[in-house]
Amino acid sequence: MTAFYRHKLSGSILQAMFSGRMLVAAMMGFASGLPLLLTGAVLQAWMKEDGVDLGTIGLFALVGLPYTLKFLWAPLLDRYTPAFLGRRRGWMLMFQLALIASLLILAASSPQLNPYGVAFAALLVTFFSASQDIVIDAYRRESLDDREQGLGASLYVNGYRVGMLLASGGGLILADHVPFPVVYGVMAGIMLIGVATTWLAPEPANSEGKPQTLSEAVVQPFLEYFRRSDAVMVLLFILLYKIGDTMASQMTIPFYLDMGFSKTEIGTVVKLFGFWATIVGGLVGGVLIMRLGIYRALMGFGILQGLSTAGFALLVLMGDSLPWLAAVIAFENLSGGLGTAAYIAFMASMTSKRFTATQYAMLSSLMGVPRVIASAPTGYMAEAVGWVGFFAFCALIAVPGLLLLRRLHQRGSDIRPEVAR
C-alpha cells in the first residue's frame, strides 16, 4: 500500500466518521441496545433479588424468541410504507412508541407475585424491540454505501453498547437506591432519544426500489439469497460465530453475584469501567475492517472473543478481586466490540438493498438463536459443572465457527470483493 493510498484512505475514514450519517447510525444503535438487557441482565437481577431460582432465570431467555423469529414479519416492513415519515422512519417511530408502552407495562409487573405477567410484558418488549431492530438495520444498510458499512457498523455497535451500558450498568446502580419498577420507568423515558432521532433523521433513498406485491416481498428475498453458492454455509457461520460469547453473557450477572460482588460494584466496574474498552473496540474495529477486509477481521476478532470468554474461568480462581474483574471485563468488552462490528458489517454486505429488511432480519435472526435457544439451559449447565467448567465450554464452542469462516474464505463466498478482500 503506497503512502498516497494510505493517506487517502485515512482521510476518507475521518470524513465518513464525522458525517451526519454516522451520527444517526450511533444514535439508532443506542435506541436498539437500550431495551435488550432490560429483558436480560437487569431482569435477571430483579428476579434473583425476588428469590427466583437459577433454572427459571435461565428459562427466561426464551422471551427473546422475537429476536430469532423477526424474519417472519420483516417482509411486511419491506412491502408497506406508513402514511407518515416514509418506509423506514414511519415503521421505526411506531415501534419505538409501542416499545415505550411495553416497558411501562413491565415496570408495573412483579417477578415474585406474577411471574407469568412478567414473562408476557417482557415478551412485548422483545417483540417491539426486535421490530425496531429490523427497520434500524434496513435504514443503516440503505443509508450507507458498501465501503462505509464496516465503519457504520462499528459506530452502531458503540451506540448499541452505550444503550446496553445505560440500561444494565446504570440500571443496576439505580436499583440499589430505588425499586426496579422505577428503573424500568426511567428507561422508558430515555427511549424518547430514539424517537427524536427517528423524527430528525432523513429517509434513505433506495435506488433498487421495493417489492410491489406481498408475495414478492415474502418469496423473492429468500429465492435471491439461496441461489447464491455457499448460502447455507454462511448461515451456519452466522449461527456459530458468537455462540460461546452469547452463552457466557447469559449467566454473567448471576456469576458476579455468586462471586460476592455487590450490584453497585457490578454496575460500576463491569459496566462503566468496560465502557471505554467497548468504545475503543468498536472504533478500532471499524478502521481495521476497512483496512484488512471483513474475513481477516472476523478471524482475528473471533479468536480474541474466545480468549476473553476463558477469562471468566480465570476470574473464578482469582476470587472477588476488583482489579481482576476490571481486567477481564475490559478485555471482554474490547474483543466484543471488535467482533460485533465485523459480524454486523458481514451480514449487511450479504443483503440486497431491494429486500434489506427481510434478508438482514433472516441473517440477524440466526445471530439471536444462541441468545435464546442455546442460552436457555445455561443456568442448569452452570449448576451442573460449576463456573469454571461452564466458561471453559463457552470458550471452546466458538471453534467450529472459526473453522467455518476459514472454509468460506478459502472457497470465496458471494460477498462483494471490495468489502471482503
What does the block give as the cell for 79? Answer: 412491502
Q: Read off the pLDDT of each residue in 72-82 and give the average, rounded to a whole number.
A: 85
Best mean pLDDT range from 75-84, 97-106, 264-273: 97-106
Domains of the chain, CATH where assigned? 11-420 (1.20.1250.20)
The pLDDT value recorded for residue 368 is: 62
The pLDDT value recorded for residue 128 is: 94
The pLDDT value recorded for residue 369 is: 66
For the CA atoms of 92, 26, 157, 144, the dihedral, rounded to the nearest 10 degrees, stands at 80
Among 126-130, 136-140, 283-287, the range scoring the smallest mean pLDDT is 283-287
Among 63-77, 152-166, 372-386, the range scoring the smallest mean pLDDT is 372-386
Provide the CB-side half-sphere exposure for 358 (13 A, CA): 25
Q: Read off the pLDDT of each residue in 41-53 and give the average, rounded to a whole number.
A: 75
Nearest residue to 210 via CA among 148, 102, 138: 138
Residue pLDDT, tens place only, 184-229: 899 999 999 999 999 998 888 765 567 778 777 888 888 888 887 7
Residues 6 or more apart in contact with residue 404 via CB below 8 angstroms: 233, 236, 237, 240
Kindly calculate the radius of gyration of the chain based on its CA atoms and give it in whole angstroms. Answer: 20
Q: Containing H/E element for 141? A: helix 115-143
Residues 6 or more apart in contact with residue 16 via CB below 8 angstroms: 22, 148, 151
Longest dimension (CA), the chain: 67
The pLDDT value recorded for residue 209 is: 65
Choose between 98 and 383: higher pLDDT: 98
The C-alpha angle 73, 78, 81, rounded to 5 degrees, equals 105
Choose between 338 and 146: higher pLDDT: 338
Nearest residue to 381 via CA among 403, 367, 397: 397
Please state, in angstroms and rounded to a whole number, the distance separating the CA atoms of residues 382 and 61.
15
Residue with cell 451480514: 347
Residue pLDDT, tens place only, 341-369: 788 888 887 787 777 888 888 787 776 66
Entry pTM = 0.72
pLDDT higher than threshold 60 for residue 170: yes
The C-alpha angle 141, 353, 33, rounded to 5 degrees, equals 30
pLDDT higher than threshold 60 for residue 3: no
Helix 322-349 with 294-318: angle, nearest 10 deg: 160
pLDDT higher than threshold 60 for residue 11: no
Choose between 170 and 13: higher pLDDT: 170
Please state, in angstroms and rounded to a whole number, the distance separating the CA atoms of residues 284 and 370.
26
Residue pLDDT, tens place only, 242-262: 888 778 877 888 888 888 877
SS3 180: helix
Nearest residue to 121 via CA among 190, 174, 46, 71: 46
**By CB neighbour count within 10 A (0-12 exposed, 13-18 middle, 19+ buried), where does 215 fall?**
exposed
Is residue 10 very low, low, confident or very high in pLDDT (cuts 50, 70, 90)?
low
What does the block give as the cell for 100? Answer: 415505550
Q: Read off the pLDDT of each residue in 168-173 and give the average, rounded to a whole number.
A: 80
Choose between 337 and 399: higher pLDDT: 399
Which whole-number Å values give the CA distances from 93 to 132, 282, 317, in the listed order? 8, 27, 47
Choose between 108 and 421: higher pLDDT: 108
Mean pLDDT (the chain) is: 79
Sign of CA dihedral 402, 408, 409, 413: negative
Portion of the chain with pLDDT greater than 70, in percent: 85
The pLDDT value recorded for residue 272 is: 65
pLDDT higher than threshold 80 for residue 82: yes
Q: Write phi, then psi, for 413 (nearest 5 degrees).
A: -90, -175
Residue pLDDT, tens place only, 139-162: 888 887 767 777 787 788 888 878
The pLDDT value recorded for residue 418 is: 38
